[in-house]
Structures are given as structure tokens and as C-alpha cells.
Amino acid sequence: MSVVAKTAALLRPRSSSVKVGPIGIDFALEAIHLVQLEKAVGKPPTVRARVSLPFDGSRRKLLKNSHQFRTLIKRALNADRFYGRKAVIAIPPGMFRTISINYRSAPGRHQESAAILKVMQDRLDGDLTDYVLDYLPVKSRSKNDERLALVAVSERQPIVDFLERARRARLDVQALEIGPVAISRVIGELSLESGSDNVLVINSGRSSSYLTVISGTDLLFDQEVAFGENSLIRQAAETLDMSEEMARDLILRAGVQSANPGDAVEATIAEAGLVNTISEILKPQFLKLVAEIKRVCLYAAAETRGGVVGQVYLLGSIARWPGTAGLLSALTGTNVAKIPDPLALFPSSPGKSPAAGTVAPEVVVATGAALRGMQDHG
């Protein structure tokens, strides 16, 4: 699209029958992802714009550097036909944690908030004014007045600084989102498509992973577990007596289980025994994750009166390793798959060509943030 055509498209008045949603923004470990949806009356959302841009250095440094932050946002917004500056931003994982709490229910939203704050006062160090709290009540399966809620907790000052950098980048932040809630919106759409009930999402990172259970469109559970790419790479490097950089490259090439036996390269790797060797080295650590998965599945069954986890989705760093989903499927006895391309749920809007290249599963958080307020069912 030419500069003139793109400018005309951006300035063209929107039909009152078309709702343009906020720009969903996710700061991943090595890239920023942006997604924007639009929706005509009586029709499902369509993709208006999306972009994924890698950035130099670490995410931590990016979030502290106002100039780099502002420049990256400007480049991203100019990369496609994003409309406006309203945004829903996913809080980077290192800036928040989630806590599951039980509290006594009370009638009315204000009383419920007060009950949750009372519990959190005993769970946090210092004064509650030092924190930013948000909570999501979990649909109760119990007949008594005890309820469960997921509470997202952030220290106040880092959130204030984050919002100030977004303001300086000329973003109109409508809401801050946490990854598990954004993911649950996308899983809700996938469940409507597939008819799945309980779904477990494993979002793997460098130092830890997050296990999130969604039942239909309800977020049931979210917990951080000590399982990450770095410890697996370190284990392989020590065992094979090589640098961590070499071990990372080897695993990305060979994988942890043969995924395509008919491929000539994979056949050569398999013949050399590399895949089996890597699998045996890493299996003890994967079994620790399997134990957590089984525990979470039991919890989901208890909360949904016997409902089983019928699908496990994998995203994040280890999702890129060949054979990870197959290995976890074999170890858990449950269907584990890489999370599907979330944008495949929504066609491109009229006149817009699909983005070049394959959309990475990592855009799931940005897509979930972009869905905020766009769904008929929540």
C-alpha cells in the first residue's frame, strides 16, 4: 500500500456501523506484538492491523528506556493501518504476580471488594496503598459462601512509571491487562470453535512458566511454576560439555522428539541419536512439569465437578522446540499441542491483505488484549 493510500485509509471516517477496537499490545521477551480488531454490527470481529517487531536488548532495558520505548511504539504503529491510539496493554510478567485466595462472599460489588482486600492485607507485606490490585472472581461450584478469586498484584511505582512511558509514547491506555486474562479470551473463542470444555495453557518463559486453566470462557486457575527454558538449556550444556549458546542452538535444530520422521534433516539427526540423547537428558525436568500438570488437572476436575482437561495448549519459548508437544503428550497421556494461530479465528478486514509470513503463536496475548470489549459474550 502506498503512503498516500495508507494515509487516506487512516483518515477516512469510519462507518458508525463498524466498531474499531483498542490496540492490543504485548511486550514479549524479544519482540513487541500489536493487534487491532474491528467489528461490523451483527458480524464477528476481523483483523484490521497486526505487527510483530523484534527489539534490541532485553525487555527489562526497553521498559526503562523512554526513548527506545517511544521509538518502538512509533515504528510499530506505522507498520500497519492501526486506527487511533487507544490501547489495552498486557503488563509484562515480571511486573505482576497472581495469587489464588479464598474469601467469604458478601452481597454487592463493594462488599466483595472489601472482603478480598481484607484477605490480601494479611497476604502482602506493607500497606495495600503500595500495590496495585485487580481481581477476578472464579465462578463458584460450591454451595456455601466461600468463594475463590484470582488476584493480580503489582507494586504501585513500576506500574505508574510504565503508564507514564506509554503516555509519552502518545498511547491512550484504556486498560492494563494480565496475560492469563488475555489468553482466556482467545481460548474462549477456540472453545466455541472446537467445543472443548476445560483447557490448560502452558505459557513457558526463560526462567519460569505459567499454568492457566480455562473452563469455557471462565478463568479458573493461574500459577507460576519453576520450569523455564534457561534451566533446561543449562542442564543440556553441562551434560554435553558445551556452551549454553551451542546447547540452545542444538535443541532448536534437533528438538526433544522427532516431529517429522520423513524429513531428510531430521532423519539424519535421529540417526545420530541426538534427539534421544537430548530427550533423556531433559526428561527428568519435563517430568517435574508433568507432575504440576497432573496436579492442576485434578484441581480443575474438583472445581468443575469432574470435568476433565481435554486439551493442553503450549506457547512461549519451549513451544518453538521441535517435538515438545509430542513429548509432553506422551508423558501426560493428554493431548498437548502448540496453541493455534489466534488470528486465524478472525478473517482480515475487507481490502486488507494478510500479513506476510507465518503468524507466531506468541501474538495470543496481544490478540486477547485486542478482544477486550469486542466479544458478545464478555
User: Over the stretch 130-167, which tens digit does the pLDDT of each residue have?
Assistant: 999 988 877 655 556 778 888 999 999 999 999 999 99
Measured CA distances, 19 to 46, 82, 107, 353, 364 (Å): 10, 13, 35, 20, 21
End-to-end distance of the chain based on CA atoms, in angstroms?
Answer: 34
pLDDT at site 374 = 80
Quick: pLDDT tens for 42-63: 888 899 999 999 998 889 999 9
With H, G, I as helix, E, B as strand and everything else as coil, classify residue 271.
helix
Q: What is the mean pLDDT of residues 230-249?
A: 94
What is d(CA 55, CA 357) in angstroms, rounded to the nearest whole number?
Answer: 18
Please say if the pLDDT value at position 252 is more than 70.
Answer: yes
Please say if the pLDDT value at position 233 is more than 50.
Answer: yes
Confidence of residue 245 (pLDDT cuts 50, 70, 90): very high
Architecture of domain 3-93+159-188+342-370: 2-Layer Sandwich (3.30)
pLDDT at site 305 = 74
CB distance 50 to 363 below 8 Å = yes
Q: Which residue has the cell 511504539?
A: 73
Confidence of residue 312 (pLDDT cuts 50, 70, 90): very high
Please say if the pLDDT value at position 357 is more than 70.
Answer: no
pLDDT at site 176 = 95
Quick: pLDDT tens for 177-215: 999 899 988 988 877 655 557 899 999 988 889 899 888
pLDDT at site 104 = 82
Most confident option among 1-5, 29-33, 221-225, 361-365: 29-33
Please say if the pLDDT value at position 2 is more than 70.
Answer: no
Least confident span in 20-24, 77-81, 160-164, 359-363: 359-363
Sign of torsion, CA 119 124 125 129?
negative
Quick: pLDDT tens for 287-297: 999 999 999 88
pLDDT at site 102 = 85
CATH class entry, domain 225-338: alpha beta
Quick: pLDDT tens for 59-97: 999 999 999 999 999 999 999 999 999 999 999 988 998
Confidence of residue 41 (pLDDT cuts 50, 70, 90): confident
What is d(CA 83, CA 68) in angstroms, rounded to the nearest whole number?
Answer: 22
pLDDT at site 373 = 77
Answer with the residue of higher pLDDT: 73 or 374: 73
Q: What is the mean pLDDT of residues 33-42?
A: 91
DSSP string, 177-222: E-HHHHHHHHHHHHHHHH---EEEEEEE-SS-EEEEEEETTEEEEE
pTM (2 decimals)? Answer: 0.83
Please say if the pLDDT value at position 360 is more than 80.
Answer: no
Least confident span in 78-82, 251-255, 356-360: 356-360
